[in-house]
Amino acid sequence: MTVSAPVSAAPAEPSLLAGARVARTTAHRAARDAERLNRLTDELARAVTEAGFARHFVPHRWGGTAGTFTQLVEAAALLGEACASTAWCAALYAAHGRLAAYLPVAGQRELWGDGPDVRLAAAVVPPSGEAVATAGGWRLTGRWGFASGSDHADWLLLASWTGTGTAREQRVFVVPSAACEVLDTWRNVGLKGTGSNTVVVADVLVPEHRTFTLGALARAERGAARCHAVPYRMVAPLQFAAPVLGAAQGALDAWVRRVATRTGIDGSLVRDAVPTQQTLTRAAGEIEAARLLLRQAAGRADRGGTGAREVGANGRDCAMAADLCLTAVGRLMRGAGVRSQHEGDPVQQRWRDVTAAAGHPMLDLDAAAAGYARAVLPGTDS
């Protein structure tokens, strides 16, 4: 990552949370269309960009916000209440702007020289394809799966192995969307609207200034904005956990609206039944606990923590938050009645979304436990 003094102060920006509130209105209206299309609608892609997600971690020198992780978590969770797929893509557009800040200045200029509202999709874990060194850069060929938001991306960040032996390393290549083919492969039970499709690149020349090594993401460089000075594993789980929290809250809100007026077969109000009250109390408590965990993890990242214990604690908190949300929406689904089995039901949709999102490797509780134990318990080998 190349760091230099800003050429101008960052422009005054409306808060990301305020932008997300506006985008949430659009997401409420367009969520079903995104599910049907298996990708964001054009309107949704514009809405998250106008909300400020794409520019959120772009350096100040290019007019970006260089914002906080707390802001991102709050905004993505708010948006996720209406549509988890929209929140997922929004959070990733923000996160990928942070990754691209590790490019040399010439590469950053090519991306953001005309403005910071540039949508970046990515497929960096695991690396794929083949990169061959050539004069002035690399020739890149291959297929990369699960590139969320790729239909609306201006650029793609694609990772591949380079070199051999001790020189072998993972490198990220930034490729214009016009040089990529996006295959319509995304057919998933949850997060249907993310358009996490397969990207194909055929012998594309990527200049050296549009590449950086994945290893650079583990280093915090002196003089960088705080959001660019924390290791990748410290903050990556946050971008996936925030939409999970939002979807769980959306499920709870939909469940409450239904139960408030629902009657049982004997004509009594379901809300007066002890099992209903137990379901509400437990699910609400689990979701609020998840919110507190993510708030704690985001604050830890914003304070610039880089130690092994801090990184491990963030992985723990994000995985625990996702697990709590998964438990909560499962509880709500069981108590939502037969109507929740119908296609298009808001509780069911969010149950599917949370189930899919919580399965992301970055939110895997076993992996998070192993990482946390290695940081805390001397001699742990896992």
Residue labelled with tokens 């200045």: 105
At 381 the pLDDT is 67
Residue 245, phi then psi, degrees to nearest 5: -60, -45
Q: How would you label 71-90 residue by residue, b for 16+ Cβ within 10 Å and e otherwise?
A: bbbbbbbbbbbbbbbbbbbb
199 SS3 class: strand
Phi, psi values for residue 269, rounded to 5° = -75, 125
Pick the closest to residue 63 from 18, 102, 112, 4 (CA basis): 112
Edge-to-edge order in the sheet of strand 120-123: 120-123, 155-162, 169-176, 211-213
- Report strand pairing: 137-147 vs 130-134: antiparallel
Query: For residue 175, which of 147, 215, 216 has the smallest C-alpha distance?
Result: 147
Burial status of residue 69 (CB atoms within 10 A of its CB: 0-12, 13-18, 19 or more): buried
3-state secondary structure of 291: helix
What's the DSSP call for residue 10?
P
Is residue 120 within 8 A of residue 54, CB to CB? The reply is: yes
Answer whether the bond into residue 361 is a cis peptide, omega within 30°. Answer: no
How far apart CA 198 and CA 255 sit, in angstroms, is 35
Closest to 112 in 3D by CA, of 159, 68, 157, 54:
54
pLDDT tens for each residue of 350-362? 999 999 999 999 9
Instruction: Give the pLDDT score at 269.
Output: 67
Q: What is the distance between the alpha carbons of residues 162 and 127, in angstroms, rounded to a whole number? A: 10
Sign of the torsion angle spanned by Cα atoms 64, 68, 69, 73: negative
What sign does the dihedral 267-270-272-273 (CA atoms) show? positive
CA distances, 349 to each of 81, 156, 188, 190, 220 (Å): 11, 29, 12, 8, 39
Report the SS3 class of residue 14.
coil
Strand partners, 139: 132, 205
**Cβ atoms < 10 Å from Cβ of 257:** 12
**Helix intervals (H) in the chain:** 16-37, 42-51, 69-80, 84-100, 105-112, 232-259, 274-302, 308-334, 346-358, 365-376
The pLDDT, as a whole number, for residue 13 is 43
- CB burial of 241-250 (b: ≥16 within 10 Å; e: otherwise) equals bbbbbbbbbb
CA dihedral 20, 23, 28, 31 (to 10 degrees): -110
Rounded CA-CA distance 69/62 in Å is 19
Collapsing DSSP to helix, strand or coil, 205 comes out as strand
String of b and e for 360-370 (b: at least 16 CB within 10 Å)?
Answer: bebbbbeebbb
CA–CA distances in Å: residue 85 to residues 13, 190, 210, 297: 25, 9, 28, 22
What pLDDT digit, counting tens, does each position of 199-222 carry? 999 999 999 999 999 888 877 666
Handedness of CA 188, 192, 196, 197 (dihedral sign): positive
Ranges of residues in the chain with a pLDDT under 50 are 2-8, 11-13
User: What residue ranges define each of the domains in the chain, with the CATH number in brackets?
Assistant: 16-118 (1.10.540.10), 121-214 (2.40.110.10), 230-376 (1.20.140.10)
Q: What is the largest CA-CA distance in the chain?
A: 78
pTM: 0.93
